[in-house]
Amino acid sequence: MQENKNLSEFDIEDQKIIENIELNIWEALIPVVILMGLLAYNIFFADGVWLGDYSNQIILLLGGLVAAIVGFWNKVGVGTMIMEIWENLKSIFIPVMILLLVGALAGTWLVSGVIPAMVYYGLQVLSPEIFLPASVVIAAIISIATGSSWTTSATVGIALIGIGTSALGIPGGMVAGAVISGAYFGDKMSPLSDTTNLAPAMAGTDLFTHIRYMAFTTVPSILVTLIAFGIITTTLETAGTADISGFLNTIGSTFNISPWLFAVPGIVIVLILFKTKPLIALASGVIAAIVFAFIFQPEILGQISTSKSGALTQAVFTDTAITTDNEKLNDLFSAGGMQGMLWTIFLIVCAMVFGGIMDAIGALARITRELLKMAKTIFGLFASTVISCLGLNAIASDQYLAIVIPGKMFKKAFDDRGLAPENLSRTLEDSGTVTSVLIPWNTCGAYQSGVLGVSVADYFFYAIFNWLSPFMTLLFAAFRIKIRMMLNPKTVQA
């Protein structure tokens, strides 16, 4: 879940989708094909550094340039493109601020002992035999309670990554996949989630009908995910009891560990539960961690800098590293602060530039409308909706647009076929919300990768719930399982 828009901003009548009648489908696809080709080359043949450390960002800007050339050819003015880019950039202001605060959160939670305490107590509770399935369940519970996959990853997600990779020796991609699977399950099923409210608003149904109907595909998907992680766990060779004991001794001798440290993440979760703005909740977590650092970890602050205030400033803004006698824990006990989030922020900004130009030249609307023409059958309609959501997550780089645009485009088609609106709302969530995290340059993919410290390529396969969900919704459509029809088709809108 991106926490950057209010539901009112997506009023069905007010949402503008630009369509350029002079743009044909082949012209609309030119920037997409070139972008995908360049990204594929960079990922598979150049190890992600073809054009330097910011290769993906440069490629997105090149894709935007190609889209602009197509727009000029079809008489779209520079002012129109700049306006759409500006609208996109305005929409990511809050996510960018959240990313900066998450960077500060990671640094201050490290020096205050919060993350070490999570790892310390987690090692004593989470045995290697159940770690991956347990990570799915823990992330799901927190996400249902808060309605936020982003908050879940920034709190328990970071701790679970530390426990799994540094202490138990489990690959980071597996742990991140388990955390993301649970977090997005909870995000989908929580009435507090903005995307869970947005999807039924676009489709024309109510929130709780949407959640109940979505459970038919979502629950089987999470059960398959839990079974898969249970099987994966049996194939792992994790750290032994002696190694875990060594980790515990090192953490206990380096930090002042206390259960009171859990009050810091507790404050953040409680604030989210009371529907406090994410920026306020995360900022409160940073401030509380600073206070607790003064109380519990004065020695750590002295190790980082000659002054305590200097150490905390460093933790908030730049790199922080705490040295122990265990090399694996040294990797865990380091954080990049706000500075560590800049690569991710630049990626999101460049993706918004590309998406803004594609919207301005009418390419997004043209591609979606062509997909609608292919929907000759009920299954074809569901498949077209899924493809549209997936495509917009990749092209527009924003999960909200992947819900809003298909929601507007396909609503009448679902109505015309006598399909109840919850069919559309469920499909939007099964294919729009959860797959956003599988696209490296999407705001969600960039966020999760940056926060968890694991690339999308590494966790893609293990984010089982996320890539399974669209297949599950298509399976239900193909076999007409729980496809609800309108009670009175004559009321269908013209």
Q: Does one domain contain both 297 and 149?
A: yes
Q: Does one domain contain both 55 and 195?
A: no
Domain count, the chain: 2
Q: Does one domain contain both 291 and 302?
A: yes
Higher confidence at residue 494 or residue 312? Answer: 312
> pLDDT per residue over 4-58, tens digit each?
454 444 443 344 455 666 688 899 999 989 988 887 787 777 766 777 878 888 9
Q: Does one domain contain both 250 and 225?
A: yes
Q: Does one domain contain both 265 and 168?
A: yes
Q: Which among 341, 365, 393 is the end of a domain? A: 341
The pLDDT value recorded for residue 26 is 92
Q: Which among 311, 341, 371 is the end of a domain? A: 341
> pLDDT per residue over 416-454, tens digit each?
889 999 999 999 999 999 999 999 988 899 999 988 999
Average pLDDT in the chain? 85
Q: How confident is the model at residue 458 (pLDDT cuts 50, 70, 90)?
A: very high
Kindly state whether residue 15 falls inside one of the protein's structural domains. yes
Q: Which among 324, 341, 358 is the end of a domain? A: 341
Higher confidence at residue 49 or residue 482? Answer: 482
Q: Does one domain contain both 324 and 355?
A: no
Q: Does one domain contain both 99 and 86?
A: no
pTM score, whole prediction: 0.78
Q: Does one domain contain both 147 and 19?
A: no
Kindly state whether residue 2 falls inside one of the protein's structural domains. no
Q: Does one domain contain both 193 and 256?
A: yes
The pLDDT value recorded for residue 11 is 45
Q: Which domain holds residue 212?
A: 94-341
Structure tokens that stand for 453 in this block: 């410290």
Q: Does one domain contain both 18 and 134?
A: no
Kindly state whether residue 74 falls inside one of the protein's structural domains. yes
